Structure 1
């Protein structure tokens, strides 16, 4: 695996080596340059604790997180394989720094949320899209991935992003796709970045569905966090779980430690709540799961009973957003603008997610049931108006 050249992993100086040896031996050194005010009785009363930086995130928080992750039945996760940070967006940024030099590239799915392209651009890295295609359900065009990795840009592709399940298509990575993709990444020394923030919200599950977290066949960085797990975007806690071949994992963590140390760990104020929030996670996730499944069932009922039959919903396997299909003769901008004008309702058309053709609208399954039904009614009525 080739890592970026922008992470400085040069040999530590003799003083740093001696300090590390003393720490390993359990010896506490007095430091003349200790400028941590919390160790000198200067911490404010509202935040009285002594600050003890752990670049990967506070140990107790990582231990609690690993225990929680191990209860989900996935591959075993050690606290030493986890990095806690503020969000999965920050995780993408760290991993692009780890893997890519300026001018390198990452592969990411389309249709898809535009976040990855924006973050890659901020890191002076290109995003090369690969297509998810629909034939009654969504699938990854593995042949296209193979062609990209073996084509003119293959030498600068350093990571492949898998969204499991994807937003807004709601498609999980299928077992056969996973096997082929892991093999391609291993063959081409490309790391996998697996974004699994929506994983727990299965809508139409299938046999063999599994997380990529813990994958050992290729260097894999699995992303998750509280934003979706707790349905709390203001609870800014995300994490990276590192797995793969042992030597590559060790080298990746050695370099990722440098990045984490430069950016400093998550706030202790936030970290202290992580164990408590993890206890609440199963109940909260189930609450959200019931809401989105109920609204999806209501959506199918409403569309099936609509006499005009102009609006349909594409099959979604997971997540909390789905795509509506509307007649392609309707311009997507015209549809949303008409909804704003007539009903005070806005939305995200398919082109926001780089759908390859006109005639799509994303709709959230999160609203309270009465509000959700009202939203669906607005879409159906507006389509009828435009066609009629």
Structure 2
């Protein structure tokens, strides 16, 4: 298949006079899909038509997989629309307890300058980042590649195991992933995601997410974390697939 895509026609139809911005997650969570060049052009055109901004959450942008010339790895520097790119140490350095995030602003110069001035004012109304975090930030950013390498290696290994196990069954398949920390299992037959995930948790201590947590349009999807230590992940996958094969 061609992978995940933005339905720009449907998106355009939802824009109203109350719409002020388009919010994207790049790469998406949990699909792991990146925006493509053509999609960005369409988003920029939509923003120009309706005077909208783009807010791009890119906390997973350092965790892309594979190569794709059409992929937009980041909206930093996007000049087609006023663009706010969000990120922080939580995912980049795998430090959710260290509270430091930032916003990069780009776009047409007049819009960018006005937005920057307003952001500066807003920032002044909040408490500043903790002093220890400020002092540690430069070093944490410099050292982030070490932990990112470990995360990517574990995610790849777990994904390969999941793909290999699902290849032996007709009951489910793993959807394409371009980045991020999650894998999506699509089940061949409709079933109660909530009942399945609750039973897994209660009977086997296996925690996964039902697809409806992420607003999938129909039932039949499970979301699993690829960050789990490999031995635990493999045992969990075995139990999940066994329950699926047994008809839950």
CA RMSD of aligned residues (A): 1.5
- From 60, 74, 77, the equivalent of 1:214 is 77
- The answer to whether residue 131 in structure 2 is matched with residue 268 in structure 1 is yes
Q: Which deviations, in whole Å up to 9, do the C-alpha atoms of 1:100-145 show, x marking residues without a partner?
A: xxxxxxxxxxxxxxxxxxxxxxxxxxxxxxxxxxx65110001112
Would the aligned equivalents of 1:312 and 1:326 in 2 still touch at CA under 8 Å? yes
- Matches of 2:2 and 2:70, distance apart in 1: 19
State whether residues 171 and 189 of structure 2, in contact with CA within 8 Å, keep that contact through their aligned partners in structure 1: no
Q: Write the distance in 2 (CA, Å) between the matches of 1:161 and 1:367.
A: 29
State the Cα deviation string for residues 65-99 of structure 1 (Å, max 9, x = none): xxxxxxxxxxxxxxxxxxxxxxxxxxxxxxxxxxx
- Work out which of the two has the higher radius of gyration on C-alpha atoms and give 1 or 2: 1
Q: Is 1:335 aligned to 2:201, yes or no?
A: no
Unaligned ranges ≥5, structure 1 = 1-134
2:170–2:188 contact (8 Å) kept in structure 1: no
Deviation at 1:186?
Answer: 1.9
TM-superposed CA distance for 1:346, in Å, is: 2.4
Separation in structure 1 between the aligned mates of residue 51 and residue 199 of structure 2, nearest angstrom? 49
Provide, for residues 275-314 of structure 1, a one-character-per-residue CA deviation record: whole Å limited to 9, x for no partner: 110111122212211111121111111111x3x4312111
Quick one: which of 214, 219, 238 aligns to 1:353? 214
For the residues of structure 2 that align with 1:205 and 1:352, how far apart are their CA atoms? 29
Structure 1 length-normalised TM: 0.61
The size of the alignment, in residue pairs, is 247
1:194–1:212 contact (8 Å) kept in structure 2: yes
1:223 to 86, 100, 108: 86
CA contact (8 A) 2:30 2:223 kept: yes
Does 2:5 match 1:139? yes
| Mapping of residues 108-257 of structure 1, within 5 Å | 136-149=2-15, 154-209=16-71, 210-257=73-120
Alpha carbons of structure 1 residues 162 and 329: separation in structure 2 relative to 1, 3 Å: closer
Counterpart mapping for 1:78-117 below 5 A: none
Is this contact kept in 2: 1:338–1:382, CA < 8 A? no
Cα deviations by residue, 1:214-258 (Å, 9 ceiling, x for unpaired): 211110000111111112211221110011111111111111111
Asked whether 1:285 is paired with 2:148, we answer yes
Residues 328 and 358, structure 1, Cα contact 8 Å, conserved in 2 = no
What is the distance in 1 between the residues matched to 2:197 and 2:207? 6
Contact 1:321 1:365 (8 Å CA) reproduced: yes
For residue 204 of structure 1, report the CA deviation from its aligned partner.
4.0
User: How far, CA to CA, are the matches of 2:111 and 2:91 in structure 1?
Assistant: 29
State how far apart, in whole Å, the 1-side matches of 2:67 and 2:21 are. 27
- Tell me how far apart the structure 2 counterparts of residues 196 and 373 of structure 1 sit (CA, whole Å): 29
TM-score by length of 2: 0.94
CA contact (8 A) 2:99 2:129 kept: no
User: Which 4+ stretches in 1 moved above 4 angstroms?
Assistant: none
Q: Which structure 2 segments of 5+ residues have no match?
A: none
Tell me the SS of whatever aligns to 2:103: strand
| Distance (Å, rounded) in 2 between the aligned partners of 1:354 and 1:148 | 17
Matches within 5 A, 1:18-33: none
